[in-house]
Chain A
Amino acid sequence: MSAIGELRTLRRTGRGRLSPAQKEAEAKERRRDSRAALVFLAPWLVGLFGITVGPVLASLYLAFTDYNLLQDPNFVGLENVQRMLGDERLGRSLAATLTYVVVSVPIQLVVALALAYLLDRGIRGLAFYRSVLYLPSLLGASVAIAVLWRLVFGGEGLVNAFLGLFGITGPAWVAEPETALGTLIVLHVWTFGAPMVIFLAGLRQIPRQYYDAAATDGANRWQQLRSITLPLLSPIIFFNLVLGLIGTFQSFTQAYIVSNGSGGPTDSTLFFSLYLYQEGFAGFRMGYASALAWLLLLIIGAFTALNFWASKYWVFYDD
């Protein structure tokens, strides 16, 4: 309800019943209000329908076609779903993506929480450290850092030069099927800044008197962390977990740059989005790529639903 409407409600409660004419006038005004709201919302609505809803619906249609970018799409029913069932690369892509998500999201959360916890202990120059620790998050998804990563973890990169000081000859981390995905996980964990800042804000909201009371009762740091901090922070952990999963499932840039767009070596870094991109834009199979996009949506939806269901058992809302 608009501010004007609210004022009117106030006036009305003061005056009691309305005559039919007044009611009519009011309805008219309300309609004008909602028209004004529409006008103000228009830019956002154009974006929502033009850039989000429309394309999403179009891709749902394309998922059932053989669209190849250059010719008109033909409806092919469930052919794309059938293709998925026999698609060996899709399997490898799912394996790489799931490994990436399942390993890197929890590690990143633990690192972010640990650092937020340390920063919350009141270090001098907090703003400085916070900025420095946040920096990787701004850089991590950028092309430049991915390029840098390839050089740092290359056969003659920084990491191996460092290991060389101790007489260890490291492998070409980004070029070995066993270690390539690991370098991407490290890169992702390194971008812990966003969840860290959210954790920091959450920690600040926990009332100090809980800790004071606990200290009076003789609880040590560890007990305080377990019995006060973690339960009261659990909604924030849950929030970061859900956002982290959704974002990580859709990772693209790092794998694209580090593997030169191939998802290699031997598909070990073939993230789902990268595979979808290869199919759509390099293989001219946009219909299949659209179907893959919907599969990804379903997978992320399932994971998120599972998360919400599980949250009943461990998330504590203090209200």
Chain B
Amino acid sequence: MEIRETVSISHSSVMESASHRRARRRREFLIEGALLLAALVSVAATITILFVLVFESVGFFETVPLLDFLTDTLWTPLFDDPHYGILPLLAGTIVTSVVGLVVAIPVGTVSAVYLSEFASARLREIIKPVLEMLGAVPTVVYGYFALLVVTPALQWIWPELPGFNMLGPGVVIGIMILPLVISLSEDAMRAVPMMLREGSYAMGATRLQTAWRVVVPAATSGIVAAYVLGISRAVGETMVVAIAAGQNPNLTWNPMEPAATITAYIVQVALGDLPHGSIGYQSIFAAGLVLAVMTFAFNIVGHLMRKRFREVY
């Protein structure tokens, strides 16, 4: 009797919940769909970036032959006698980035080795937030710093240095990418198994010898990945160079001279009032395409190398 009752109750509750369950399943399906849509926004954004850059650049390359773009040594799109050679802007981008790397790579590597192999936990607790703060300062503030603090300081050493130059912003870019370089290469070094260090100590090596001859070589791909991602950041840096490196395209490899970078050119044009669809308007997309291709390439190489160091251990 009792058993039958329970059976009938559970039976009716199954009947009741069938429509209930269907509604619930539909709701679950809709929610999953909505979440998927949100996740697809990043795919859409990537595709749209490529599409916008390529679409406007196609218009640009209908007027400007690709060969001129790559070989002409003048960039004067807004002059009466326009030249569209990307080389001067590219040189500016490369020089400022190289100056940045000359600062960031030695300082970053030494700091990372120290933090990973020597520093006490307490010192690391102090340094980490400082580096985070250094990474959080808005780039426009770094631009101010490059123009009004670093360049005057450098002029004190080299009085002939012009007010706009690539050296000051380059140094500031180096300091800006320092937190990224340090934290990524420290991650790589901390991923090196303790065994390797212990083996080295057992052979009588000092901490310093172990750090440079065992840990750093074992973490090479991760450290190089840190450099590459740092380069990518330096190449795309905009406000520091737009403020402190000057606005005139200048084909030179001398960091003491002023020169515009690809990013500074885009800012300069955007500040003016160029009509939509004009060649000047299209030229910032062509310049942006060059920048995007460069950073994509660096990012891909960097992430492949980071993956590699993760797989080894």
* A and B form one complex: no
Measuring CB to CB, which residues of chain A are less than 8 angstroms from any residue of chain B? none
Measuring CB to CB, which residues of chain B are less than 8 angstroms from any residue of chain A? none
